[in-house]
Amino acid sequence: MKTLLTETVIQDGVRRIAQQIAHDFRGKRLTMMGVMTGSVVFLADLMRQLDFPLRVGVVWASSYRASTTRGELVVNTPMMPSVTGDHVLLVDDIFDTGHTLDRLLKEIRKCGPLSVHSAVLLRKQGRREVSLDPDYVAFEIPDEFVVGYGLDYQGHYRHLPYLAALEPDDMAKWPS
């Protein structure tokens, strides 16, 4: 694997966008909504950087089936808390084509929040297929398959404290 972002660099990026979020939402009723499962590490680190009251919830969405094969996006919202009258910050691990974030923002808007914003750890360069852009982005990365800091390949590598690009040999270790 090739390291793209070290643990220290990631933590600096999380602190940077946490400061922006604190500036924009301090004194407002905020619910942070993490997209399961990839955003768990980012969500935890981000919320610990905020020094004001907030609520946390999760929503599950996935378009991946086996390995890296994309399919229809499936969204499961029963774990979401009520967000009526709240400002919502949807937190996701990566903005690739943007279809997942676009769909989730539309679903959350149906629930009656005051506003809906988005924060992503990573935005892949040259992959966007939707008109929206995340409100908060910690890092721009090249178009490579990345793992670590919550992102996985077939359930592996989420535990890494850094972000790495998988090489073909790395993928061969975990056949589908």
Q: Please tell me the predicted confidence (pLDDT) of residue 51.
A: 95
Active site residue 45: no
Number of domains in the chain: 1
At a CB cut-off of 8 Å and minimum separation 6, what does 147 contact?
1, 153, 156, 157, 158, 160, 163, 164, 166
Q: Is 45 in a helix, a strand, or coil?
A: helix
Residue 126's Cβ-count burial label (10 Å; 0-12, 13-18, 19+) is: exposed
Which of 92, 93, 96, 152 is an active site residue? 96
* Residue 176, pLDDT score: 63
Q: Is 29 within 8 Å of 85 (Cβ atoms)?
A: yes
Over the stretch 9-47, which tens digit does the pLDDT of each residue have?
999 999 999 999 999 999 999 999 999 889 999 999 999
Q: Whole domain around residue 79: which residue ranges?
A: 2-52+59-172
100 closest CA partner among 29, 37, 142: 37
**pLDDT tens digit string along 73-85?**
676 666 788 899 9
- pTM across the whole model: 0.90
> Residue range 65-94: average pLDDT?
77
Tell me the CATH number at 146.
Answer: 3.40.50.2020
Quote the crossing angle between the two packed helices 7-25 and 40-48, to the nearest 10°: 60
Backbone dihedral angles phi then psi of residue 125, each to the nearest 5 degrees: -75, 135
